[in-house]
Amino acid sequence: MQRVLVMGSSGSGKSTFARRLSEIAGLPFVSLDALYWKPGWVASDNAEFGQRVAEVARQPRWVMDGNFTNHGAGELRRHSSDTVIWFDLPRRSCMLGIMRRIASSYGQVRPEMAEGCPERFDLEFFRYVWTYRRQQRPKLLTYFQELRADQSFVRFTDRTQANDYLNAIALEQNRASIH
């Protein structure tokens, strides 16, 4: 596990998971949101974003958090990854996740976000998460169909599975460091 994509709905816990996996496995953490957004929540030009993502995707090791399959070197990321982890959580879990996140970090820039992009209440974002399973999930399913047989694919349907996975990797890392 050297190049890991962590994907799924906002509020699913994927960013927290990706940061923890990065720490446990000793892999650099890459946030696509940090590469995409400019201060003041200004979107990057697709070509510019794609170039930034391509530079990172060509690196030998990373945990990359985010979707952006339609632009931003989505094909290159899929091709370069050896592991894809998908947070396929129910709508209510993701909605609760973003509400908790807004309540705990409103006005602050989260670690995985670009500078100048503080947490905020955004109805368009709520709509995106509310409609994610209907509108975005099918796109990810299509994206995953192009994975190769040599790529690992892991699907979480709740956060407990994700925590158990991290605990197993941490245990494996500890065993490896002892020997």
pTM above the 0.85 mark? yes
Domain presence at residue 174: no
Domain presence at residue 168: no
Structural domains of the chain, count: 1
Per-residue pLDDT at 135? 94
Interval 88-130: pLDDT, tens? 999 999 999 999 998 998 988 888 888 888 888 889 999 999 9
Interval 46-79: pLDDT, tens? 999 999 999 999 999 999 999 988 776 788 899 9
Longest dimension (CA), the chain: 52
The domain that holds 14 is classified in CATH as 3.40.50.300
Which position has the token pair 């094909």? 75
Please, which pLDDT band fits residue 177 given cuts at 50, 70 and 90? confident
